[in-house]
Amino acid sequence: MIKSRPMTHEEMIASQLHVKPSQVAATIKLLDEGNTVPFIARYRKEMTDSLDDEQIRIIADELIRLRALDERRAAILSSIEGQGKLTKELRAAIDAAQTMTALEDLYAPYKKKRRTRAMVAREKGLEPLADLILKQDFGSPEEFAQKFITDQVTTVEEALQGARDIVAEIISDDANVRATLRGKALKFSTVRVEKIADAADEKRVYESYYDFTSRVDRLLPHQILAITRGEKEGVLRARVDVPERDWLDAIQSKFEQDILSPFAEQLALAIQDSAERLLLPAIERDVRREKGEGADNHAIQVFAANLRALLSLPPLVNQVVLGLDPGFRTGCKVAVVDSTGKLLDTGTIYPHEPKNNWKGAINTLQDMVNRHHVTLVTIGNGTASRETEKLVSELTRDAKQTKYLIVNEAGASVYSASALARAEFPNLDVSIRGAVSIARRAQDPLAELVKIDPKSIGVGMYQHDVDQSTLNHALDGVVESVVNHVGVDVNTASPALLTHVVGIGPKLANNIVAHRDENGAFKSRAALKKVAGLGPKAFEQAAGFLRIREGSNPLDETAIHPESYEIAETILERAGLSKKSPLNERAAAIVDLTARTSLEALAKELNCGVPTLKDVLEQLVRPGRDPRADAPAPILRSDVLKAEDLVTGMQLKGTVRNVIDFGAFVDIGVKQDGLLHISQIPRGTVLKVGDILDVEIQKIELERGRISLGWMK
């Protein structure tokens, strides 16, 4: 019989991703050599056979998990071997375990425990009696137990009880029993939730779960997260009930009673005790942990997808923006920035309660608009947002050049009080810094939002309840991915933005800005090598994602890596072009070149791969193109729509603000976002933050602050 060998890490990950093991092996080699995910995805396509950014991140994360599993496996083998209990069969089982749970199940009988009833019984010499129960011996239990009477074991019943304690622990620690029962519990157990009698839930947040029952496998992620939060807040109590037939079947598949044995009753008692005292509580913890981790991962994926969409919103270029951070008692903070984001003017207006200086506010804003030629007003969507929108609509209603836009202000206050904001605007009041952030968010959402902790941006679901290290890892990956996909202008980028360019990091980002401030704008990518601390590896990883506008080499403005400049220059030469040839000439000349020579033949002549050649050709035709330009532009308004104006059946354009499990919240231009329930979204349609939709008002509940929307076909 031929023994099957264990799968390698490459094979396991390849199976999960449905790719070739050779692709995974190449990626692992590149990662181990210190290459970053965006660099591998963009500039090492020939080696990975064009795996994308997401696939490479999964490989990197799975590799960490599998290596941690290997470390734990080695520690467990060493521990059991040190106890002199490592058999060939046990070693094979441990070597074959592919999850941490399976490993810990196998290790359970050999793990050092706190003092248990079974330990006490073993110390009293009752293990041979326990063996008779397990073997279902045919002698009299009482007669055998009599032989174990000592100063420590004074009665037959005490001896049998101690033996049953040992059997109960053996049953509970059995890896096959645990795995079988866990599998059944994850499918067929029931979660029961109730409200704790004296618990306060004034807003009835958890009303849906006051008397809630569901089969575990039918629980939705947001339900799990809500129940968990309700328990933490002391409002709810939850338990998992495993049907008796399931736990009994799982145990008896390994520890079956022989009805003819006088010891059958002793085993039955030990099974009942093992289930109630040891096994079921452990399985409940396992089920809750596994379902909780699944819900966490789902919530993190939702947050990551929303964050990616928000960071990928298109910039509104060439706009002079007046940002408004609305407020009542403390007034509305005002900041004007030019088209590059440079601060031009600040102020505070008091149009609302208690001062009600509406006319004065209009005059102040009109003066700023006229002096700075403001083309866009942005309003934060927090407190007093819609009241302030009325003010701005009056300002812009008859203005041809000035529109307004309500932006998500989440995190603006976090930014305004941060060390980054203090360094950027040391002499500016904290509240005014928030208005600057609100103004800049329309100009370039990515450049502004990277200054804020992603968890503060407010596009998640239960983000404070999920595992924070996993959440941070996922969100940092999204920010890194988007920043490098878009590219960064090295001569205008803030340290916060440069930090997220692969190979750079906070220290090098500050060094780059300091070098720029001292020596002026960088004229080429090669000049970056003069920055203190920026060595060959950092340059290799970062160079392709850094842009030099109007520098000495036009290729520095593109996503073409310096290592491929020779290829690009040869292509331009063969097409009869130069690096400075007008764009309108390039497309036709390059199309003509590729019509005469196949990509495969051209790649072979240039000694490069076809994927790299395609990327170079695309960048030569559209150098430095911002991929965000393909996204729909935000809706700019000039007049306000009041909630009272809404009627059922009204058709409107709206912007998706947040995507959650049960649908999407859509900004339709009134104070309250409308809910487009998942039942209204066509099957197969994937919405993302920033999408522009045509929707229809289905139901209005102003007293409850609810607007239900329908999908416009």
Q: Cis omega (within 30 of 0) on the bond before 354? A: yes
Decide if 476 contacts 514 (C-beta within 8 A): no
Average of per-residue pLDDT across 321-344? 94
How far apart, in Å, do the first and last CA atoms of the chain sit?
Answer: 62
Between CA 401 and CA 284 the distance in angstroms is 63
Q: Where are the alpha helices (DSSP H) in 607-706?
A: 610-621
Looking from the CA of 116 toward its CB, the CA atoms found within 13 Å total: 21
Instruction: Identify the architecture of domain 117-189+242-303 in CATH.
Output: Orthogonal Bundle (1.10)
What is the residue extent of each domain of the chain?
Answer: 9-110, 117-189+242-303, 321-481, 643-711
Confidence of residue 132 (pLDDT cuts 50, 70, 90): very high
Q: What are the backbone angles phi and psi of residue 568, rounded to the nearest 5°?
A: -60, -45
- Which CA distances in Å does 661 have to 218, 303, 497, 667, 694? 14, 11, 31, 18, 21
Least confident of 4-8, 95-99, 345-349: 4-8
pLDDT in tens, 174-187: 999 999 999 999 99
Between CA 607 and CA 12 the distance in angstroms is 33
pLDDT in tens, 207-256: 999 999 999 999 999 899 999 999 999 999 999 999 999 999 999 999 99
pLDDT in tens, 385-426: 878 988 998 898 877 789 998 888 888 888 888 888 998 899
Helix (H) or strand (E) holding 692: strand 692-701
pLDDT in tens, 553-572: 999 999 999 999 999 999 99
DSSP string, 234-250: TSEEEEEE--HHHHHHH
Buried b vs exposed e over 124-157: b needs ≥16 C-beta within 10 Å? bebbebbebbbebbeeebeebbeebeeeebeebe
Confidence of residue 532 (pLDDT cuts 50, 70, 90): very high
In this model, does residue 672 exceed pLDDT 80?
Answer: no
Q: Which CATH class is domain 9-110?
A: mainly alpha
Q: Residue holding tokens 């000439």?
A: 585
pLDDT in tens, 425-465: 999 999 899 999 999 999 999 999 999 888 888 776 777 88
pLDDT in tens, 256-292: 999 999 999 999 999 999 999 999 999 999 999 999 9
In this model, does residue 1 exceed pLDDT 60?
Answer: no
Helix (H) or strand (E) holding 404: strand 403-407
Looking from the CA of 46 toward its CB, the CA atoms found within 13 Å total: 12
Q: Which CATH class is domain 321-481?
A: alpha beta
Which residues make beta-bridge pairs with 651? 696
Helix 599-606 vs helix 610-621: crossing angle, to nearest 10: 100
Query: At CB < 8 A and 24+ separation, what contacts does 295-299 make?
Result: 295/221, 295/222, 295/224, 295/225, 295/228, 295/466, 296/225, 296/465, 296/466, 296/467, 296/470, 297/470, 298/221, 298/661, 299/221, 299/222, 299/225, 299/460, 299/461, 299/462, 299/463, 299/465, 299/466
Residue 538 token pair: 């950092």
Residue 158 token pair: 């005490």
- Calculate the dihedral angle through the C-alpha atoms of 463, 465, 469, 472, rounding to the nearest 10 degrees: 10
- Please give the pLDDT value at position 707: 87
- Please give the pLDDT value at position 639: 63
Average of per-residue pLDDT across 155-174? 96
Beta-carbon count within 10 A of 644 CB: 9
- Please give the pLDDT value at position 638: 65
**Mean pLDDT computed over every residue of the chain:** 91
Helix (H) or strand (E) holding 196: none
Q: Report helix, strand or coil for 492.
A: coil
Helix (H) or strand (E) holding 206: none
User: Strands 332-337 and 343-349, how do they pair?
Assistant: antiparallel
Interacting residues of 685 by C-beta distance below 8 A, sequence separation 6+: none
- Please give the pLDDT value at position 2: 45
Interacting residues of 276 by C-beta distance below 8 A, sequence separation 6+: none
What single letter denotes the amino acid at residue 133?
I
Q: Which CATH class is domain 643-711?
A: mainly beta
Confidence of residue 629 (pLDDT cuts 50, 70, 90): confident
DSSP string, 340-403: TS-EEEEEEE--STTT--HHHHHHHHHHHHHHHT--EEEEESSTTHHHHHHHHHHHHTT-SS-E
Average of per-residue pLDDT across 14-22? 96
Residue 72 token pair: 């734990």
Average of per-residue pLDDT across 617-637? 82
Between CA 711 and CA 448 the distance in angstroms is 32
Q: Residue holding tokens 């089920």?
A: 287
Helix (H) or strand (E) holding 281: helix 280-311
- Residue 694 CB-density burial (10 A; 0-12 exposed, 13-18 middle, 19+ buried): exposed
Between CA 519 and CA 533 the distance in angstroms is 16
What single letter denotes the amino acid at residue 592?
D
pLDDT in tens, 452-505: 888 888 776 777 888 889 999 999 999 999 999 999 999 999 999 999 999 999
